[in-house]
Amino acid sequence: MAAHERHMVVTGASTGLGLTIAREAKRRGWKVLGTVRREQDRERLGEEGIDTEICDITHEDSVRGLGAAVEAWSDGSLAALVNNAGTAHPAPVEEIDLQDLRDQFEVNVVGHIAVTQALLPALRRGGGTVVMISSDNAVITAPLLGAYCASKRALEAFAEALDLETSEQGVRTLIVRPGSYESDIWETSLGRAGKYRTEASRYRDLADRVQRHAATPGRRRDPRELAVRTLDLVERSRAAFRTTVPRNIEATAATLLPWSAYKAAVRRALR
């Protein structure tokens, strides 16, 4: 391994934010390994010069295999891990399929902890940085996104504990909260929401209003902005523990407003 090489692992790198982050890191000279779930994605990223490992972060054997692969690939020294993989199953709390609820926590929380556990030895040797890609929905609760919002809050609690536990060992943890960016996760999630938009659901009208709001033109930003900001944070010797990208008044208001005022604001937005 060349002395100057910096190794970064990005989970969920086949599309969307993860792919954009992997591309930006490669552009800056990082040696990048992205996790994907399909052979065709592996081949496609390989054509761009991005190393890949097929990994389902919800399966323990697959994560153990990733750990072994990263040890060999990085020569046991990892400079950064970006926990990006994510999923969303929009649904009202009353009607959400409990398996959909479990799936969100398996991917958005448990899977990231599993990957972090597997790669911590290499991160410790490399004095590395763990980046948890959270969401501004960790503080901006939205109707039909209760499970997604809860999973992001849980991820941030784990990130806080991880930083308290490992910073003295030379491993830094950062939280990045993206706002609304172009990403396949939302296209997929809107499709999943269809099963809750039936005549039988008492939440159909609310679901229609939420979908119209989500589809507002210009609402979603270019993910390259997020990738640049994330890499800037990783490459700084000192960076804020928690960063919302871009800064937005909604996230600030959600933490400061009384609940009644916040609820009224949400209702106005969904009229």
- Specify the CATH number for the domain of residue 229: 3.40.50.720
Q: Which of 40-49, 140-149, 218-227 has the lowest mean pLDDT?
A: 218-227
**Distance between CA atoms of residues 12 and 102, nearest Å:** 19
Tell me if 147 is assigned to some domain.
Answer: yes
Its domain, for residue 62, covers 7-269
Instruction: Say if 2 falls within a structural domain.
Output: no
Task: Grade residue 117 by pLDDT with cuts at 50, 70 and 90.
Answer: very high
Residue 12's Cβ-count burial label (10 Å; 0-12, 13-18, 19+) is: buried
Place 196 in a pLDDT band, splitting at 50, 70 and 90.
low
In a domain, 240, yes or no: yes
Distance, in Å, from the CA atom of 126 to the CA atom of 249, rounded to the nearest integer, reads: 37
Residue 1 lies in a domain: no
Q: Under a CB-based contact definition with an 8 Å cutoff, are residues 9 and 70 in contact?
A: yes
User: Average pLDDT, stretch 45-65?
Assistant: 96
How many domains is the chain partitioned into structurally?
1
Instruction: State the average pLDDT for the chain.
Output: 91
Asked if residue 33 is part of any domain, the answer here is yes
pTM: 0.91
The residue type found at 134 is S
Question: Does 35 reside within a domain?
Answer: yes
pLDDT of residue 2: 52
What average pLDDT does the segment 25-52 reach?
96
Angle 174-56-195 from CA coordinates, rounded to 5°: 95
pLDDT for residue 3 is more than 60 = no
Asked if 244 and 255 touch (Cβ cutoff 8 Å), the reply is no
Point out the catalytic residue in the list 148, 181, 196, 203: 148
**pLDDT reported for residue 184:** 64
pLDDT band at 217 (very low <50, low <70, confident <90, very high): low
Q: Any catalytic annotation for residue 196? A: no
Banded pLDDT at 17 (limits 50, 70, 90): very high
> According to the model, what pLDDT value does residue 58 have?
97
